[in-house]
């Protein structure tokens, strides 16, 4: 039977990171970009928790940071959605390409 | 390594002495709580909120000056669960930055009092966000723990996003805050991924431990590539705070869309915090014994930061050329100035390097002077914006006739931003150039990629950039003095005139007080918290000087 080790977790995290970056680059919708940000944040969380589980030198600090990151992601999402709603009220869209009044 | 599990849990409870060292932070936090409760007790008026906030800042300032006198040479770390460095540190740099930031915050609050206190209906929220971001910036500079850096970074960023879009009916503000927030979220996420990789390799969040690991293992280790990628990801976050190229795109948009007070606040405070954090991390990374084998790491780091700084100031000056909005012009100018200051961080690379002390001293002097230059320039811009309703360069036409008490300080601040003597801006540039010119390692060799080459090429780039920048600052000055299209007189409040003229006068006075200014900055720049330095005799201080700043 195949056992799951650290490598598998790191691969999952790397795939999540890549998917998140790809989402950020390709999406034009502000909410879509934020979903990409969440993917990248969670890839960091998978890394941190997996290191704590499998490596002798890492024990608990990573899990603490993972909890901090979860809280930060929630706070960031709250502010981000607030800003998106504000933009929608002003421009009636959350497309980042339409919001192009400021340039140069 | 596993400090938390082994240590006595009670040792993590802070003792009174540590609480005193962090009292300015605690006072700011209490002020925030007082402002939260203020609407319930005293109503949502502007006056009580402003009174509480000013009182809090004054008390925090008193404590900060006290702490600066008491903080031990070499700093101290508190809130430590074990043998590792603590979560928070107090040293000469962090207490000096507290004083600088609090002075600047009182200037920004003064500006807000003039311009927005009558019309603003959400004063409590504004001050909670302002104080919250100040607290985050202070935390960023007074820690060496990566977990705390992340917390401080986000505490500084999240309120800033909301501050930029604070006026809900303003279209430009909504767009600016969206761009700032998306950029910030992406950079923070990439930074956290880098941190998770660093943690996996090193097994600790304490930056001294990380630095020691890098010093020992970078050459022969198999995970060198991963470590370099991780450090690059970490750097993305810091570059976002500094608005260094290529993470600078948020800066002009956010600065143009935000209210002028908020622009003033972000232009100095967030950049200064990012730069001092960068300087501290670079210092820790390079502070072990100068082995020949790690010299190439240092060289790569110095070249990396140096090239980034050179590109940043060139791009900033280049893009400032064609701007027609004064706020946007000053935003690009602040990118350029962040580039000059980053050069000083590149010199601050190693205790074995000549000019190492001079680098951080020059950086701090520049931050202090830059604070007053920007406060003055943005103050005048604010008053013109409030009067004319826009910040186009045409609104400044004939300002010398329309409001001489605004035009003269504006000319002084702009000339100081160029770096012309006899104004303080010249001193900042001069000391950075001096530090770059003396940038040399004792056994550095004389190859084309030596430190000396880097230092002198940065000197040339800075001088060329200063010449470039003269043009677009002069354009505003010429508009104000030589052109006149008969626009009506600008009526500025006496409080505003006091602020901008005080800034301009200080810029003149500071030029002649160069000696004391440099001494204060030098006191802040030496005796930084550095657990690695205790191990190596090479980095012991030559003469022990007290850490006080008065």
Angle between helices A61-91 and A30-54 (to 10 degrees): 180
Distance CA B114, CA B109 (A): 9
Instruction: Indicate whether B539 pLDDT > 50.
Output: no
Which pair of structure tokens corresponds to residue B511?
Answer: 């030029």
CA–CA gap between residue B348 and residue B280 (Å, rounded)? 9
Q: Best interface-test mutation with B: which of A72, A78, A81, A84 has the largest number of B CBs within 10 A? A: A72
Query: Which residues in chain B are contacts of A68 at CB distance < 8 A?
Result: 147, 150-151
Q: In the 8-state DSSP scheme, what is residue B533?
A: G
Residues B209/B347/B156/A59 CA torsion (nearest 10 deg) = -10
- pLDDT at B314 > cutoff 90: yes
With respect to residue A26, please indicate whether it lies within any of the assigned structural domains.
yes
User: What are the tens digits of pLDDT across the range A37-92?
Assistant: 999 999 999 999 999 988 888 878 899 999 999 999 999 999 999 999 999 998 88
Of B147, B175, B186, the CB nearest to A87: B175
A54 belongs to a structural domain: yes
DSSP B181-208: HHHHHHHHHHHHHHHHHHHHHH---BHH
pLDDT at B156 over 50: yes
- pLDDT at B483 > cutoff 60: yes
Question: Which residues of B are less than 8 Å from A21 in CB distance?
Answer: 190
Cβ-proximal residues to B33 (8 Å cutoff; 6+ apart), any chain = none
C-beta separation of B495 from B110 below 8 A: yes
* Residue count of chain A: 104
Q: How far is CA B67 from CA A100, B94, B547, in A?
A: 47, 10, 10
Supply the pLDDT for residue B69: 86
* Residues facing residue B76 across a β-bridge: B90
- Please name the helix (run of DSSP H) or strand (run of DSSP E) that holds residue B375, with its range, or none: helix B356-388
Among candidate residues B61, B71, B66, B63, the one with its CA nearest the CA of residue B93? B71
Q: How far apart are CA A65 and CA A94, in angstroms?
A: 31
Residue A84 lies in a domain: yes
Quick one: pLDDT band at residue B239, thresholds 50, 70, 90?
A: very high
Beta strand extents in B341-498 (DSSP E only):
353-354, 440-441
Q: Is A83 close to B257, i.e. CB distance below 8 A?
A: no
Asked if residue A99 is part of any domain, the answer here is: no
Contact residues, chain B, for A45 at CB < 8 Å: 196
The overall longest dimension of chain B from CA atoms, in Å, is 76
Domain that holds residue A62: 6-91
- pLDDT, tens digit, 9 for 90 and up, residues B28-57: 999 999 999 998 988 888 888 999 999 999
Number of domains in chain A: 1
Residue B547 — very low, low, confident or very high, per pLDDT cuts 50/70/90? very low
Tokens standing for residue B4: 């938390």
- Tell me the CATH number at A27: 1.10.287.3510
The answer to whether residue A97 is domain-embedded is no
Helix (H) or strand (E) holding B88: strand B88-90
Candidates A21, A34, A65; nearest CB to B205: A65
Percent of chain B with pLDDT over 90: 47
Residue A72 lies in a domain: yes
pLDDT in tens, B53-106: 999 999 999 999 999 888 877 777 766 555 566 788 888 889 999 999 999 999
Contact B234, B185 (CB under 8 A): no
The backbone torsions φ and ψ at residue A25, rounded to the nearest 5 degrees and listed phi first, read -75, -40
Query: Coil, helix or strand for B314?
Result: helix
* Rounded Cα distance, B461 and B455, in Å: 10
The shortest C-alpha distance from B308 to chain A (Å) reads 22
Mark yes or no for CB contact A44/B192 under 8 Å.
yes
What's residue B447's pLDDT? Answer: 63
For chain B, the structural domain boundaries read 289-524
End-to-end CA distance of chain A: 60
Q: How far apart are CA B213 and CA A47, in angstroms?
A: 20
Q: Are B107 and B495 in contact (CB under 8 A)?
A: no
């Amino acid at each position: 039977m195949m056992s799951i080790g650290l490598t598998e977790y790191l691969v999952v995290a790397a795939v999540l990171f890549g998917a998140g970056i790809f989402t950020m680059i390709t999406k034009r919708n502000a909410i879509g970009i934020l979903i990409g940000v969440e993917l990248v944040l969670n890839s960091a969380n998978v890394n941190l928790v997996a290191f704590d589980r499998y490596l002798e030198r890492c024990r608990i600090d990573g899990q603490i940071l993972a909890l901090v990151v979860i809280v930060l992601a929630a706070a960031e999402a709250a502010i981000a959605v607030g800003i998106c709603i504000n933009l929608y009220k002003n421009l009636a869209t959350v497309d980042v390409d339409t919001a192009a009044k400021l340039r140069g | 390594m596993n400090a938390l599990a082994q240590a006595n849990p009670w040792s993590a409870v802070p003792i009174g002495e540590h609480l005193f060292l962090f009292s300015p932070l605690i006072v700011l936090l209490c002020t925030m709580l007082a402002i939260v409760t203020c609407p319930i007790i005293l109503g949502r008026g502007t006056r009580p909120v402003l009174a509480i906030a000013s009182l809090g800042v004054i008390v925090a300032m008193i404590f900060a000056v006290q702490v600066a006198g008491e903080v031990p040479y070499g700093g101290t770390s508190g809130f430590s669960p074990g043998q590792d460095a603590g979560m928070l540190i107090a040293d000469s740099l962090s207490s000096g930055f507290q004083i600088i930031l609090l002075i600047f915050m009182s200037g920004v609050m003064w500006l807000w009092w003039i311009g927005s206190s009558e019309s603003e209906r959400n004063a409590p929220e504004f001050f909670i966000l302002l104080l919250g971001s100040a607290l985050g910036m202070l935390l960023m500079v007074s820690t060496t723990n990566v977990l705390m850096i992340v917390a401080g970074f986000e505490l500084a960023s999240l309120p800033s996003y909301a501050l930029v879009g604070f006026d809900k009916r303003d279209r430009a503000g909504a767009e600016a805050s969206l761009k700032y927030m998306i950029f910030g979220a992406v950079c923070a996420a990439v930074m956290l991924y880098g941190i998770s990789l660093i943690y996996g390799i090193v097994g600790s969040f304490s930056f001294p431990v990380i630095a020691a690991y890098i010093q020992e293992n970078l050459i022969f280790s198999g995970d060198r590539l991963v470590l370099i990628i991780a450090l690059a990801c970490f750097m993305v976050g810091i570059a976002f705070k500094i608005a260094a190229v290529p993470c600078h795109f948020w800066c002009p948009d956010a600065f143009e869309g935000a209210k002028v007070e908020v622009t003033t606040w972000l232009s100095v405070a967030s950049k200064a915090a990012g730069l001092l954090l960068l300087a501290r991390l670079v210092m820790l990374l390079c502070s072990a014994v100068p082995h020949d084998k790690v010299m190439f790491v240092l060289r790569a780091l110095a070249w990396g930061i140096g090239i980034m700084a050179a590109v940043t100031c060139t791009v900033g000056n280049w893009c400032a050329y064609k701007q027609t909005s004064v706020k946007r012009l000053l935003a690009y100018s602040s990118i350029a100035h962040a580039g000059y200051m980053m050069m000083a961080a590149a010199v601050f690379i190693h205790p074995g390097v000549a000019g190492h002390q001079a680098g951080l001293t020059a950086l701090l002097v520049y931050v202090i002077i830059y604070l007053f230059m920007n406060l003055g320039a943005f103050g005048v811009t604010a008053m013109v914006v409030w009067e004319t309703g826009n910040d186009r360069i045409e609104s400044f036409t004939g300002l010398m006739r329309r409001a001489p008490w605004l035009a003269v300080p504006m000319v002084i601040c702009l000339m100081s931003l160029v770096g012309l003597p006899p104004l303080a801006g010249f001193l900042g540039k001069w000391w950075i150039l001096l530090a770059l010119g003396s940038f040399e390692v004792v056994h550095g060799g004389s190859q084309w990629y030596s430190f000396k080459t880097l230092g002198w090429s940065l000197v040339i780039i800075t001088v060329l950039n200063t010449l470039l920048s003269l043009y677009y600052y002069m354009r505003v000055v010429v508009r104000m003095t030589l052109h006149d299209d008969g626009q009506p007189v600008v009526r500025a409040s006496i409080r505003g005139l006091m602020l901008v003229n005080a800034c301009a006068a200080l810029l003149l006075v500071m030029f002649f007080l160069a000696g004391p200014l440099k001494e204060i900055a030098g006191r802040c720049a030496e005796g930084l918290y550095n657990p690695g330095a205790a191990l190596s005799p090479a980095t012991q201080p030559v003469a022990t000087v007290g850490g006080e700043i008065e």
